[in-house]
Amino acid sequence: MKARLLLGLFFASLAFNIMRITGPVDWRMIAAPLAGWWFADFLSGLVHMWMDCRPCVADDALKELHAWVGSRASDAFMARQAEVYDGLKTFERIHVAFKKHHVTPDVVGHLPLFHLIKAPTFFSALPMSLALNVVVLFWRSPGWALLGAVIFLLGGSLTAYFHSVLHRAQPPWPIRLMRALHLLMNPATHKAHHATMWRDFGVISGWSNPVLNPIVGVLRRTGVLDEAALVTG
């Protein structure tokens, strides 16, 4: 119930921001949402990079689950996994589940929409949307800027879902249409990330990956990113 109320608050907050969009319809009304979509992809890449390279508090247990011999659908595996998860706080549980998808990538494609949008919405999109509510309430903001911000927030809230459908054999038709328009990346492109683990962290459109990849390279060479943690994941 609490999660549904928070999700409702996010959509109400977003609707308030949308209602404040005014001004002339010109080239900025096209450029701003494209920029918002680019920055949403860029943020998805930064978060993806950090989550992949951040050590888990349950690293030893995670390695045990990753190296499990036998069926992952067995009662023994499910019991051990539940034991590991029960000892984790909320964010650490999200982190372990995120890193586990590198071992069983297709599993994420079967997760329901509500489950997928909770974490990115509650941790980032909702606080940013509420902050934008305050801005538009007390200051007159250009319509094109608000439109770009709304698109950015929408993209951010749906990041995990867009990632999920990259691991789904038959995505819904709106996803296929957005891929045809190059607004969403395709699974073949995303496979480059799983193949190398060190590139293409953006999971929405992939537009920001040409910028993200050199940044990742520098952070890797300077030792800022924990390579051992990435391998663990």
pLDDT per residue as tens digits for the range 160-174: 999 999 998 889 999
Average pLDDT over residues 59-84: 74
pLDDT class of 142 with cuts at 50, 70, 90: very high
Structure tokens at 120: 């990115």
In angstroms, the Cα distances linking 60 to 13, 91, 96, 207, 225 are 41, 18, 11, 35, 19
> What is the distance between the alpha carbons of residues 186 and 192, in angstroms, rounded to a whole number?
11
Evaluate if residue 233 carries a pLDDT over 50.
Answer: no
Phi, psi of 38 (to 5 degrees): -65, -45
| Cα 5 to Cα 23: distance, rounded to the nearest angstrom | 32
Pairwise CA distance, residues 67 & 63, whole Å: 6
Q: Which amino acid type is present at position 149? A: A
Q: Which of 32-46, 64-78, 162-176 has the lowest mean pLDDT?
A: 64-78
pLDDT at 69 over 60: yes
- Tokens at 54, concatenated: 């951040």
Rounded to whole angstroms, how far apart are CA atoms 160 and 129? Answer: 18
Q: Tell me what pLDDT residue 58 has.
A: 62
% of the chain residues with pLDDT over 70: 92
Q: Which of 148-152, 192-196, 207-211 has the lowest mean pLDDT?
A: 192-196
Instruction: Please report, for the chain, the start and end positions of each structural domain, with discontinuous segments joined by +.
Output: 2-56+112-232
